[in-house]
Structure 1
Amino acid sequence: MNQLNGFSQYILQIAYKYGLNSVFDDFLEMTVCALSVGAKEDRYHEIVRNYEKPDAYLMAEAFGVLVLEMDNNGAGLKDGFGDFYMEYISHGHNGQFFTPEPVCELMVRMTNPVGFGERVADCCCGSGRMLLAAAKIERDCLFFGADIDRTCTMMCLINLCLNGLLGEVCWMDTLANRFYTGWRIELHPEHGVPYIREITETESYMVLRLPEKKLELVDNPRPAMGAGQQLLFEF
């Protein structure tokens, strides 16, 4: 069951008029725009114009409630979206059952109980639970996530940014090494707070730099791993 009851109520209230999938995706993209510190202002206004003014205010209130609930009584590092997404959006479609947070924490501690190196990556990140669990051991790493589902990448991106974790999230097919969109979470040069910056494929660390003679692997990847399988590794 979704633990973010206040956030859920706001989103479901708005969705009654506009449709749940559209509202949730719009909310995520508007949040990414807001966390981009002015760089995506035009896109933000383009989305918000699709909503009547009272509903746009509800979107803002939903964001405020989300931040409060993700605070997790001061502990932070709580997945702000995963349970809501599974319960109301994916319904398990395409095997999208995210690993329970306590299991993520167990897996991370089994992988490396002491601490991680400089960078930690999850090439099938979902809403970012494995990376958040890794941050509970060592939050000063750079965190890298990728997923073939754009909605999942935005959930992960927001989860990392609102928890002050720096790194990169890419919407891409990791197995085929196909890049669609990527974002970097960095410290703002003027304000010194984490913010989101969209990046190109050439800037991405998650894209493999294959030599020309190996390019045939991109179009003929190995069969996909089991649905819902997640990997956590250092690089």
Structure 2
Amino acid sequence: MKTNKSYSSYLVRLGRRYDLHKVFTDFLEMIVCALSMGAMEERYLEIVRQYEKPEAYALSEAFGALVLEMDNGGEGLKDCFGDFFMEHLSHGRNGQFFTPQPVCDLMAQIAQPAKFGERVADCCCGSGRLLFAAAKLNRNALFFGSDIDRTCCLMCLINLCLNGLLGEVAWMNTLSNDFYAAWRVELHPEHGMPYIRQIGEEESYMLLKMPEAKKQLPVPEPEVEEQPTQQLLFEF
């Protein structure tokens, strides 16, 4: 049966019984599990078992509603998470006011990532709006984001995967280079569709590899010693 209910209405309703932040985080993590092609099935079941059967079904309906909203009339690249997060969860704490999408679009047009290369990055990605803005100019790039807030990382990760944008999202402190976890969006080797795979710091592109760590990696006779370089907003 078709419904015009937004995904957020399901979460708000569940939030009356449970903590809304928990419901939202569980919802995000369930989606990540679902998009990992069975690799995180145990974690998915662990989350679902915390809810009664009708509530778990409501979360699956919320996922369906989210996909319809993100389709955005066939154009995609619509951030359905950011406004909900700011209104219901962050309330502007810790400076978590996400940049309005029109401003992100203007910044992307000024930077012109399509002219820079094949990789674009945002070291404080939030829900991924700047990466969306860059994707409007060049969807074929690889997109990299990082954030100190795990919930933001999950929002950005889902936004990339459901829009078919490949790349990496790292949960880390980019100022201190402390790394907590990361996920990669890539094409599945068998099915050829975007899926999520959790990675370690040895595979991360967003983690700044310091000279001490680089000495442990096999490097084919470099002419000069490599120095760490800072990640740029759009291209690296």
Check 1:43–1:172 CA distance in 2 against 1; reply closer, same or farther (3 A cut).
same
TM-score (norm 2): 0.89
More helix by share: 1
For the pair 1:234 / 2:207, whether they are aligned, the reply is no
**Residues 116 and 141 of structure 1 are in contact (CA less than 8 Å); yes or no, is this contact kept in structure 2?**
no
Following superposition, the deviation at residue 8 of structure 1 comes to 1.2
For the pair 1:77 / 2:81, whether they are aligned, the reply is no
TM-score (norm 1): 0.89
Following superposition, the deviation at residue 142 of structure 1 comes to 0.4
Counterparts in 2 of 1:189-204, with a 5 A limit? 189-204=189-204
The one-letter code matched in structure 2 to 1:60 is S
**Residues 185 and 197 of structure 1 are in contact (CA less than 8 Å); yes or no, is this contact kept in structure 2?**
yes
For the pair 1:174 / 2:169, whether they are aligned, the reply is no
| Paired position in structure 2 for 1:225 | none
Deviations 1:181-218 (A, max 9, x none): 0000000011110000000000000011111399xxxx
For the pair 1:148 / 2:148, whether they are aligned, the reply is yes
Indicate the RMSD between aligned Cα atoms, in angstroms: 1.6
| Paired position in structure 1 for 2:222 | none
Deviations 1:167-189 (A, max 9, x none): 00000000101110000000001
| Paired position in structure 2 for 1:112 | 112
Check 1:59–1:137 CA distance in 2 against 1; reply closer, same or farther (3 A cut).
same
Q: Which has the higher contact order (CA 8 A, sep 6+)?
A: 1
| Paired position in structure 2 for 1:161 | 161
Deviations 1:27-69 (A, max 9, x none): 0000000000100000000000000000000000000000000
For structure 2, the 5+ residue unaligned runs are 215-231
For structure 1, the 5+ residue unaligned runs are 215-230
Cα distance in 2 for residues equivalent to 1:206 and 1:113: 18
Following superposition, the deviation at residue 115 of structure 1 comes to 3.7
Check 1:111–1:24 CA distance in 2 against 1; reply closer, same or farther (3 A cut).
same
Moved more, 114-123 or 63-72: 114-123
Following superposition, the deviation at residue 116 of structure 1 comes to 4.0
Greater Rg over alpha carbons, structure:
2
